[in-house]
Amino acid sequence: MLTVLLAVLAAVANAAGAVLQRAGARQQQGSDLDVGALKGLVRTPVWVAGVVVMLTGLVLQAAALATGPIVLIQPIMVSELAVTLVLAGLVFRTRLGVRDWVAAVGMAASVGLLLFALAPGGGDPRGVSALEWLLGCAVTITCVAVLFVAGKRDETTHSAAFLGAAAGLWFGFTAVLMAGVTAALTAGGVPGLFKAWQTYAMLVAGPAGFFLLQTALRAGRLVAAQPGLVLANPLVALGWGLLVFGEHVRGGPWIALELVAAGGLAGCTVLLAGSPLLRDEDPAPQPA
C-alpha cells in the first residue's frame, strides 16, 4: 500500500511540476530555449517552483522503487498524463470537455485494471548479476538508438512517433537505473550509493532523457509523440522486471484482462494527447 501511495504522489508531483513550468514559460517572450530564455525562466518563481516540485516527484518515485517492484510502479506513473490535464484545466481556468474527462477517468481505470490483472510482486535488483545488467542495458540502449535513428531519418508524421517511443523507452530505462540506485542505498547505505555504477549512469541518463524529450516534441504534433512517450515506459519496466529483476505477474486467463486494460490505456492516451490543454498553444479560457 505504501508503494502505491508513493507512486501516486510521485505522478501527481510530476504533473504539478509540468503545469507550473508551463505557466512560468508563458511569462517569457519567444519560443526558443536559448541561454537568455533559460535565464529568464530561472528568475520566474512559478517556473522554479515547478522544477522543485518535479524534483520532489523524482524523490518520491525513488522511494516507491525502494519499497516495491518496478512493474507495479511505472504503470502508475503513466497516470501523470491524466493528472496533468486536470491540473492544467484548473491552473489555466479552462473547462475540460467531455472527451477529456472520459479519457482521464478511463486512463485511471485502465491503470487500476492492469495492475489488478498483473498483481506484480517479488524481484530484487540486488540479485542481478553484472552480466545481466550489461545485456539488459545493451538491448535497451540499442532499441532506443534504432528508434531515434528511424525518427531522425523519417521526414513524415511518423518521425514524432518514433522519437516519442525512443524517449519513452529511455525514461523507463532511467527508472530501471533508479531502482538499481535505491537497491544499492538500501543494501550499503550512503557509501553503497557512491559505489554503485548506476548512480553515475543516472547523471548521464537524466540530460539524455531531456534531449530525447525535446527532440520528440519538436518533431511533430504532441498527439503523435505522446502515445509512444507514455506507453513505452511501462513496457520497459515490464521487460526488466520480469526478465532481469525476477519479478512475477499473473498469466493464463489473466492475460486477456491485461490486454483489455492495456488497450484501454493506449486509447485513452491518444485521446488525452489530442486535448488542447496539452498542446503548445494556449487554450481558450472560460469566462468566470
Residue-wise pLDDT for 163-217, tens only, equals: 889 988 999 999 999 999 999 998 889 999 899 999 999 999 988 988 887 788 6
For residue 182, how many other CB atoms are within 10 A of its CB? Answer: 21
What's the grid cell of residue 66? 525502494
pLDDT of residue 288: 37
Looking at residue 174, its pLDDT comes to 94
User: Taking residues 153-167, what's their average pLDDT?
Assistant: 81
pLDDT digits (tens, 9 = 90+) for 56-77: 998 999 999 988 999 999 999 8
- Rounded-to-integer distance, Cα 22 and Cα 267, Å: 25
Helix (H) or strand (E) holding 169: helix 158-195
How far apart are alpha carbons 114 and 142 in whole angstroms? 28
Could you tell me the CA-to-CA distances from 140 to 23, 96, 121 in Å, in that order? 34, 37, 22
What is the model's pLDDT at position 156?
65
Say which range, 134-138, 153-157, 178-182, has the weakest mean pLDDT.
Answer: 153-157
Nearest CA-CA partner of 14 in 49, 46, 48, 53? 53
Tell whether the model's pLDDT for residue 112 goes beyond 90: yes
How confident is the model over 83-110, as pLDDT tens digits? 888 888 887 777 888 888 999 899 999 9
- Cα–Cα distance between 227 and 249 in angstroms, integer? 24
Three cell numbers written together for 223 = 498527439
Task: Report yes or no: 231 and 103 within 8 Å, Cβ to Cβ.
Answer: no
Provide the percentage of residues in the chain whose pLDDT is more than 70.
86
* HSE-up of residue 275 (Cα within 13 Å, Cβ side): 28
> Considering the chain, what is the average pLDDT of its residues?
84
C-alpha span between 125 and 250 (Å, rounded): 20
- Spatial CB neighbours of 123, under 8 Å, sequence gap ≥ 6: 69, 70, 71, 241, 245, 246, 247, 248
pLDDT confidence bin for 257, thresholds 50/70/90:
very high
Tell me, what's the pLDDT at 285?
47
Q: Which residue did the predictor score with more confidence, 142 or 228? A: 142
Instruction: Give the model's pLDDT for residue 287.
Output: 43
